[in-house]
Structure 1
Amino acid sequence: MRFKLFLMTASLLTALAGCQSNKECSGADCVTNENAISREAKALASASDWRLSGYAMATAANPYAVQAAEAVLQRGGHAVDAAIAAHTVLGLVEPQSSGIGGGGFMMVYDRQSNITRMYDGRETAPSAIDETLFLDEDGDTLGYITSWQSGLSVGVPSIVKTYARAHEDFGILDWKTLFTDAENLAQNGFTVSPRLNGLLSSERLRGAMKLDDNAGSKDYFYPNGTPLAVGTQRTNTAYASLMHNIGTQGADWFYNGPIAQAIEKAVSSASPAGSLTAQDIAKYDVVERDALCGPFKTYTICSAPPPSSGGITQPMILGLYERFTDEIDYTSATGSNILPSAQHLSAFVDAQRIAYADRDHYVADADFVTVPAQDLINPSYLDARAKDRFAPAQTPTAGDPGKVLHNTPIIDMWGRDTSDDKPGTTHISIVDVYGNAVSMTATVESPFGSSIWVEEGGFVLNNELTDFARTPRINGKLVANAPAANKRPRSSMSPTIVFDENKDLFMVTGSPGGNSIIAYTSKSLLGVLDWGLDAQTAANLPNIIARGKDVKVETGVDGGHLAADILNQSGYLVEERDGENSGIHTIVARKDHFEGAADTRREGIIATITPTNE
């Protein structure tokens, strides 16, 4: 409980603790208990100087998860409490995207202590691997599908430890109460959604995945050989037991007990087999890192530092965009009231191209390699990098912050790496009644992770290690993101929190979507912070991804064809795409209300909590 004392007075802590101690109840007693907690939460909120004190909001990719977060917020929980409750539910109802078998990054802003911290819950590689992880006996790189659908790809599941560390620091409600929604839903059944059914039914995915072949998963996801139908009530008693045991026995039970042994057995039984052991799982720990922040106009943009890409790419993209558009009045594109003009759209594309080039070259696990994180977002470097604006048909290349800032070139430390990460990810944004916030992006990597099923826990394991560079050397030179024992693979996840000119909370955002996360998140930021849009309209904008020479434009939504036409006319090599797998979930704290967005490309909703008059 290192920071939570900043939040409450001792008397209110005692009152809340007293209410929570009577959690095991029924009927009218439970109603009374919930009301008591709500009154204490109201007292805490009213004592705050937060302009939206007593209001709260949660948004995520599935209604069940948002309802779980809403219940926690109504009981006076911290945003961290609500995020845990929401994500445990997502792991059940949205297993294609994230879950107990994966990991993630949780960005936390705690208002009273004025702390903005990233909990690095990225999976780690087994201690027995080296850079040759994805090379065959002849030294050739294994194909992606072979690497993905194997035990080789599984890193240590890390999300439960992430829950525990964040809750230790900031949680208000009892740990065990945060798992009851997921436990009850797994025990009693949840309704299979169209998105889950759609992915299970995809012939393309079924042709690549082993989900309908592997023991356990085929019975769970494909009863009688057919995909779970929309509207099916699906129970998962193993997951219910898992939630109960984590809730009552704590995170250490997961890492030091029968589940760790079951994970080792599942990974070693896969083909090809992986080397992850129960000992690797037992020694896992979350790393707490300071948020990486950079300026944009009057705002401060904070996101996750390496091995995440967000803390570098979001300030870089917005900083470069600001330099490209300096002294150019903002105008909308002809024929649109939501898209920016060609000049501003080109600035967004060019800022992405440069930021992606630098990210691909330099970003990796900073505990293993030197990552010039602060230099890459240094204003002087961005001034210099803005002069490197590439012509539309050029292939962007990495810059050299060492040479620019210190007259010591560093670009040749690493070989160039353009590894992809796949879109099996989810995002949660929450602001609680006290003005604390969580931006959390979590993942199992590709859809349904590695397809390896842990029957004892009712969950799939990640394939996170395919986020390493599977070809570890370029022209004989090691790339920064090469595999190594106990190393965390690079991620595109960009959970982001924005502060206004008064250093007060203004925006919480993020998205799933593989390496396109970077573009999706920056679109939501620019839409709100510069293009004058509300949160939902910004999320609805066509996605534009500019990594490398080509520019991908989502043409299956309003404004997509117009954006593609504008960029084509500007000389870019445009690749039109019907859909982009974003899942932007945003909260904007306006002067007197919250404004939310739930990406219509997924199945999420927004919950708003308002003060009661009692």
Structure 2
Amino acid sequence: MKYTLATLLFGLSFSLSASAADTAIPAQPEAASGLQAKPGWATKHFAVAAANPLAVEAGYKILKAGGSAIDAAIAVQMVLNLVEPQSSGIGGGAFLMMFDGKGKVSAWDGRESAPAGATPRMFLKADGTPMSVGEAIPGGLSVAVPGVIAMLAAAQREQGQLPWARLFEPAIELADQGFAVSLRLNSLLRDERRLKNDPQAGPLFYDAHGEPRPVGYLLKNPALAAVLRSIAEQGPDAFYRGKVAEDIAHRIQASARPGPMAADDLAAYKPVQREALCAVWLERYRVCGFPPPSSGQLTMMQILKLVEARGEPKRPLSDGKPSVPWLHLYTEASRLAFADRAQYIADPAFVTPPGGDWQRMLDPAYLKQRAALIGPRSMKTAAPGQPGDVATAYAAQAEQPEHGTSHISIVDAQGRAVAMTTSIESAFGDKIMSDGGTGLSGGFMLNNTMTDFSLAPEGADGRPVANRVEPGKRPRSSMSPTLVFDARSGRLLMTVGAPGGPAIIHFVAKTLVGALDWGMDLQRAVDLPNYGSFNGPTVLEDGGFPKATLEGLRALGHDVVEYELTSGLQGIQRTKTGWFGAADPRREGIVKGD
């Protein structure tokens, strides 16, 4: 059975109880826009990998000027805001993993937070049933307090080398002078229906006839240039206080579906420095990723360590692609991990980890017990386990789409590195653009990250969902910025990550397996067809696998679905002579370095 994005976007439902799951496939964040073969890029001293060549060039210039990895990441993010507005920007949030080149790993949480006026029942309709994600996204109700600017400023104070204002120069210049609209941006604008109705975004991205700006069109954004100038000169307060914050709040409250955010919510936002969550895999690698409120690292490492506990098949590859035995084992492990994800993971300021420690979900004895549930035939859906000594008081969450994201990986000449996944949630966020109170044309998109909370505050059993909406809370995410180290020497081996909603977990896991377990170069690992399960059907990238693979899985009881899995992986891996960077052929990213 083959599904299209339109079929799956909002027409299929997902429901979970504490004991079982009946799931469809989470909708993909962004539509595909074609494939472009990538060669992989070898460098000696440093490298920048990001989703757009103009953003990569900005980061490259900062590194050449003596900037650190975090300096370059800020320059890249600001340009991505301009050239890839569907995916990330200053109106959204990010998770940042940062390595100082000497042994310290930092995890900076710039995830958006719920405004003070948010309530657990804010996404319920008059009849008490939850809105669909499609109903909840448009308008101000879905906007959470943006966090990326505050987080980047805090991280730059820790490891920055160049002046803050210098990092904004590439984006300001491009916003003033214009950039050529890419094929991907044009394609996504053509697929978008609501954006052209926004008074700021419509005239920026569409002509008088409602047609998207053509490929090659010189797109200028004076309002964004002015906002970035003020942030460059005055620091984060220029965004979180004053006319920018007031304009954000005004547009949210004046939208067709007003949201509760006020200017005071922006002034109150604080980034959080968390302890990186690290786990040893295959005895050789120390894999460090983001702790909750991200579910990415915990879920990915559960999957990989369940496979390790069960024992990898003797033939994980068949004609250079994942084999039926590998796909069976991996997707069964995925079902178990995604069941635990839905049951337990949420903002740690609001929920208690099972057993009091998130590492309990990676305990070898617990994973051995869970791995024993994997048999010769597919379990189709899995129930959550009990990693702690006390049963949870929470209901499992129904799966919802997570959306538009971008990933940045950078290594500088001093060995410092970042892996940052950044998002405004849905493609073009909540479809509202703020001009920052400048009165100029253009601006930046606001996020719809409130829809990453559970839209239903309680489960079918009446118990509260851990990831329900609460004031000040940060919604659960699947973003998985990842740094990999040699478990013995501590040397940095890789920085990697991807966009893709819940499928991020599978995209990054696939890449780690291909590059570190199967010995592929990083580009070949990224190129591998995508696959996974979200505790329902076995999902294979459309056209990525031969018919025999689909038939072999079905013979083992799998419900197989072919589907667009539009990853956007970016990564850099250590080699004997320096670094090797990879960019996903499914998007327009590149790698550049010296």
TM over 0.5: yes
Amino acid aligned to 2:161: I
The 8 Å contact of residues 420 and 515 in structure 1, kept in 2 or not, is answered as: no
| TM-score, with structure 2 as normaliser | 0.88
**Aligned equivalent of 1:235:** 220
Amino acid aligned to 1:415: A
Identity of aligned residues (%): 41
Once the two structures are TM-superposed, the CA of residue 562 in structure 1 deviates from its matched residue by: 5.5
The 8 Å contact of residues 95 and 111 in structure 2, kept in 1 or not, is answered as: yes
**Aligned equivalent of 1:378:** 363
Going from structure 1 to structure 2, the CA distance change for 1:76 and 1:54 (only over 3 Å counts) comes to: farther
Q: Any gaps of 5 or more consecutive residues in structure 2?
A: 1-41
**Aligned equivalent of 2:342:** 360
Alignment of 1:349-428 (within 5 A): 349-372=331-354, 373-389=358-374, 391-402=377-388, 408-411=389-392, 413-428=393-408
CA distance in 2, matches of 1:608, 1:136: 52
**Aligned equivalent of 2:159:** 170
The 8 Å contact of residues 421 and 498 in structure 2, kept in 1 or not, is answered as: yes
More helix by percentage: 1
The 8 Å contact of residues 98 and 444 in structure 1, kept in 2 or not, is answered as: yes
The 8 Å contact of residues 84 and 178 in structure 1, kept in 2 or not, is answered as: yes
SS in 1 for 2:195: coil
- Whether 1:104 aligns to 2:85 is no
Going from structure 1 to structure 2, the CA distance change for 1:561 and 1:60 (only over 3 Å counts) comes to: farther
- Whether 1:211 aligns to 2:195 is yes
Once the two structures are TM-superposed, the CA of residue 253 in structure 1 deviates from its matched residue by: 1.5
The 8 Å contact of residues 53 and 434 in structure 1, kept in 2 or not, is answered as: no
CA distance in 2, matches of 1:331, 1:420: 31
Once the two structures are TM-superposed, the CA of residue 133 in structure 1 deviates from its matched residue by: 1.4
**Aligned equivalent of 2:207:** 223
**Aligned equivalent of 2:541:** 554
Going from structure 1 to structure 2, the CA distance change for 1:399 and 1:218 (only over 3 Å counts) comes to: same
Once the two structures are TM-superposed, the CA of residue 160 in structure 1 deviates from its matched residue by: 0.5
Once the two structures are TM-superposed, the CA of residue 268 in structure 1 deviates from its matched residue by: 0.1
**Aligned equivalent of 2:297:** 311
Q: Deviations over 1:503-554 (max 9, x none)?
A: 2101111110111111111111111111221111111111112111201100
The 8 Å contact of residues 69 and 85 in structure 1, kept in 2 or not, is answered as: yes
**Aligned equivalent of 2:285:** 299
**Aligned equivalent of 1:3:** none
CA distance in 1, matches of 2:116, 2:219: 37
The 8 Å contact of residues 171 and 225 in structure 2, kept in 1 or not, is answered as: yes
Once the two structures are TM-superposed, the CA of residue 331 in structure 1 deviates from its matched residue by: 4.9
Q: Deviations over 1:231-270 (max 9, x none)?
A: 1000001111111111111111111111000000000011
Q: Any gaps of 5 or more consecutive residues in structure 1?
A: 1-51, 403-407, 610-614
SS in 2 for 1:140: coil
The 8 Å contact of residues 340 and 531 in structure 1, kept in 2 or not, is answered as: no
CA distance in 2, matches of 1:253, 1:506: 38
Moved over 4 A (4+): 560-563
CA distance in 2, matches of 1:397, 1:171: 45
CA distance in 2, matches of 1:72, 1:316: 37
CA distance in 2, matches of 1:511, 1:184: 27
Alignment of 1:10-25 (within 5 A): none
Q: Deviations over 1:468-504 (max 9, x none)?
A: 0001101211010000011001001011111113221
**Aligned equivalent of 1:193:** 182
Once the two structures are TM-superposed, the CA of residue 572 in structure 1 deviates from its matched residue by: 1.2
- Whether 1:325 aligns to 2:325 is no
SS in 2 for 1:477: coil
**Aligned equivalent of 1:266:** 251
SS in 2 for 1:284: coil
Once the two structures are TM-superposed, the CA of residue 330 in structure 1 deviates from its matched residue by: 4.7
Amino acid aligned to 1:516: A
Once the two structures are TM-superposed, the CA of residue 366 in structure 1 deviates from its matched residue by: 0.6
- Whether 1:608 aligns to 2:593 is yes
**Aligned equivalent of 1:285:** 270
1:115 to 79, 99, 104: 104
Once the two structures are TM-superposed, the CA of residue 111 in structure 1 deviates from its matched residue by: 1.4
Amino acid aligned to 1:63: P
Alignment of 1:2-81 (within 5 A): 55-81=45-71
**Aligned equivalent of 2:462:** 476
CA distance in 2, matches of 1:368, 1:108: 25
The 8 Å contact of residues 106 and 438 in structure 1, kept in 2 or not, is answered as: yes
The 8 Å contact of residues 325 and 347 in structure 1, kept in 2 or not, is answered as: no
The more displaced of 384-393 and 480-489 is 384-393
Once the two structures are TM-superposed, the CA of residue 310 in structure 1 deviates from its matched residue by: 1.9
Amino acid aligned to 1:461: L
Going from structure 1 to structure 2, the CA distance change for 1:562 and 1:496 (only over 3 Å counts) comes to: farther
CA distance in 2, matches of 1:217, 1:532: 45
The 8 Å contact of residues 44 and 578 in structure 2, kept in 1 or not, is answered as: no
The 8 Å contact of residues 449 and 460 in structure 1, kept in 2 or not, is answered as: yes
**Aligned equivalent of 2:473:** 487
- Whether 1:598 aligns to 2:583 is yes
**Aligned equivalent of 2:148:** 159
The more displaced of 223-232 and 58-67 is 223-232
1:528 to 512, 515, 540: 515
Amino acid aligned to 1:422: E
The 8 Å contact of residues 423 and 581 in structure 1, kept in 2 or not, is answered as: no
CA distance in 2, matches of 1:348, 1:585: 22
**Aligned equivalent of 1:459:** 444
Going from structure 1 to structure 2, the CA distance change for 1:221 and 1:589 (only over 3 Å counts) comes to: same
**Aligned equivalent of 1:443:** 423
Going from structure 1 to structure 2, the CA distance change for 1:560 and 1:523 (only over 3 Å counts) comes to: farther
**Aligned equivalent of 2:234:** 249
Count of aligned pairs between the two proteins? 540
CA distance in 2, matches of 1:461, 1:560: 41
- Whether 1:433 aligns to 2:433 is no
Once the two structures are TM-superposed, the CA of residue 380 in structure 1 deviates from its matched residue by: 2.0
Q: Deviations over 1:414-445 (max 9, x none)?
A: 11113323331100111111111100000000
SS in 1 for 2:317: coil
CA distance in 2, matches of 1:332, 1:268: 54
The higher relative CO (CA closer than 8 Å, separation ≥ 6) is in 2
CA distance in 2, matches of 1:331, 1:483: 41
CA distance in 1, matches of 2:285, 2:565: 28
CA distance in 1, matches of 2:331, 2:54: 36
- RMSD of aligned alpha carbons: 1.6
| TM-score, with structure 1 as normaliser | 0.86
SS in 2 for 1:509: strand
Amino acid aligned to 2:176: Q
1:517 to 504, 507, 514: 504
Amino acid aligned to 1:149: P
The 8 Å contact of residues 130 and 455 in structure 2, kept in 1 or not, is answered as: yes
Once the two structures are TM-superposed, the CA of residue 340 in structure 1 deviates from its matched residue by: 3.5
The 8 Å contact of residues 123 and 464 in structure 1, kept in 2 or not, is answered as: yes
The 8 Å contact of residues 380 and 559 in structure 2, kept in 1 or not, is answered as: no
CA distance in 2, matches of 1:221, 1:340: 41
The 8 Å contact of residues 330 and 532 in structure 2, kept in 1 or not, is answered as: no
